[in-house]
Structure 1
């Protein structure tokens, strides 16, 4: 089986490398040549695609792209990959996208006789590199079962039922996580006003109800003024925005998460959009 993989960024690259390490024949494509080069270092079964059209003969194609419009632009339309794949091929979509976009892709794929699986990802690039990434998989159960061996190579599969559920799990995770980052930044700022050293404050809070994944991971980065982009402000803002659009469509008013979105929007507008989402601390209290 020949596998196509589009998008070799922080999340896609590790998953593509896992497939290559497992000896799978993987044809990879990314606009950044250095991302392709790094992925191909994983093993001899990886191959560079000169263009998206080169993936037309693949039985299975993964996409891992930043925005919903990037996925739609790649797969849909007269020049999109759905128009070039053979009937019976399958598209596994790994990006963080909204349910509406996922359903549009599913319908377009079905019209061409192509299978569609939504598979969102739960943790970090470091987990992805070690094939320890939780995956929230939605779509036709028989089709998902067909690729269980592939899923087990790249991460930890969890079947959640519908395509909508797959999108929702990731968006909910990121809405909660990024709201936690905003609240953490607020707490650290209050501690500074009280004269507390950042590291001491984090140590004291680690044995209280304030402790969270984001505090454990991003708290020390904030304390060290480390804003290298593990998960950039602009991506965080995108995910929270998509999640809130999903919630509003279901007539839910999520006030805390709406407030967090405003923080990330202001952070991006202040010029910090390409820094890690912990850079939200720079605009807290302004």
Structure 2
């Protein structure tokens, strides 16, 4: 796709992992020009071939209407914005930063405040939906920021999201809401692994679990999304164990600051931490089920999926 085919609106995309790459494709499909950057040279080369653009970060930022950060955590977000090659000194005044990582709400407030003197808008915009929905432009975005930030981000949000929740006129509420979602997501993934282990221990077939439970009251979105991975022996990092070590860590740390005890979230976090310490951190988050197999000797379903 050539640059001439685009609408004239340009965005820099930092982070071409499973979610970021899908977002990038959705932006291109909407007719936006996208300069993609990633530490993985293969992912960057592949995306640039899709985008028809192969420019330096300096060149790209000079013309960009905004930047979309699809990185892992607050430290990577801060480095992308204010590090040695930071966007804060490269984007033009009036550009918007759409920050999609799951971070502590106070860090989002801080990033907005640090960008404001440079005339750069910050949209606190964590995302949910998984890589498949990212590639279809069907994400949910929990966004908060100044009206000007929403206005500058509108075309990108329309391209990447099915639903955009406008949660406030300052940074912070978007990340706070994402932490609520991640509390539930982490608990439900841990519960899915435990439920499968419990069924398998009784001789229940994994495929039958997936046929029955989604039609019963005990199901959840995460069960229906992650259960098939366990049934297929698929522990590729669609979303890794270490993601929930981080995200549930944010949840429990925030709760401590509010003198709030979250025993269920803490129990789920302990499972993810144990899985990570057992060498499973970079496997898919459902690899938590392997802890049960190791402890009890139950057999898990064998690998049964097609490699991409």
TM-score with structure 1 length normalisation?
A: 0.91
Q: Which runs of 5+ in 1 are unaligned?
A: none
For these two proteins, the number of residue pairs brought into alignment is 283
- Output aligned runs, 1:169-208, within 5 Å: 169-208=177-216
For residues 153 and 226 of structure 2, what CA distance do their matches in structure 1 show? 35
**CA offsets 1:106-136 (integer angstroms, 9 cap, x no match):** 1110122211111111101111111111111
**Native 8 Å contact 2:125 2:141 kept in 1:** yes
**Native 8 Å contact 2:252 2:262 kept in 1:** yes
Does the C-alpha gap of structure 1 residues 241 and 48 become closer, same or farther in structure 2, counting only changes over 3 Å? farther
**CA offsets 1:216-250 (integer angstroms, 9 cap, x no match):** 12212212322111101111211111122222222
Specify the SS of the correspondent of 2:36.
strand
Q: Give 1:181 deviation, angstroms.
A: 1.4
Specify the SS of the correspondent of 1:195.
coil
**Native 8 Å contact 1:168 1:243 kept in 2:** no
TM-score with structure 2 length normalisation?
A: 0.85
Residue number in structure 1 paired with 2:81: 75
Q: Give 1:105 deviation, angstroms.
A: 0.8
Matched, 1:253 2:266: no
**Native 8 Å contact 1:21 1:42 kept in 2:** no
Q: Give 1:63 deviation, angstroms.
A: 1.0
Residue number in structure 2 paired with 1:214: 222
State which of 165, 172, 175 in structure 2 corresponds to 1:167.
175
State which of 10, 18, 22 in structure 1 corresponds to 2:18.
10
Q: Give 1:175 deviation, angstroms.
A: 1.8
Q: Give 1:92 deviation, angstroms.
A: 1.2
For residues 19 and 82 of structure 2, what CA distance do their matches in structure 1 show? 23
Q: Give 1:195 deviation, angstroms.
A: 2.6
Does the C-alpha gap of structure 1 residues 201 and 63 become closer, same or farther in structure 2, counting only changes over 3 Å? closer
Q: Which has the higher mean CA deviation after the structures are superposed, 172-181 or 251-260? A: 172-181
Residue number in structure 2 paired with 1:273: 281
Matched, 1:53 2:61: no
Does the C-alpha gap of structure 1 residues 24 and 192 become closer, same or farther in structure 2, counting only changes over 3 Å? closer
State which of 13, 20, 27 in structure 1 corresponds to 2:35.
27
Matched, 1:236 2:244: yes
Specify the SS of the correspondent of 1:147.
helix
**Native 8 Å contact 1:28 1:49 kept in 2:** no
Residue number in structure 1 paired with 2:303: none
Q: Give 1:204 deviation, angstroms.
A: 3.2
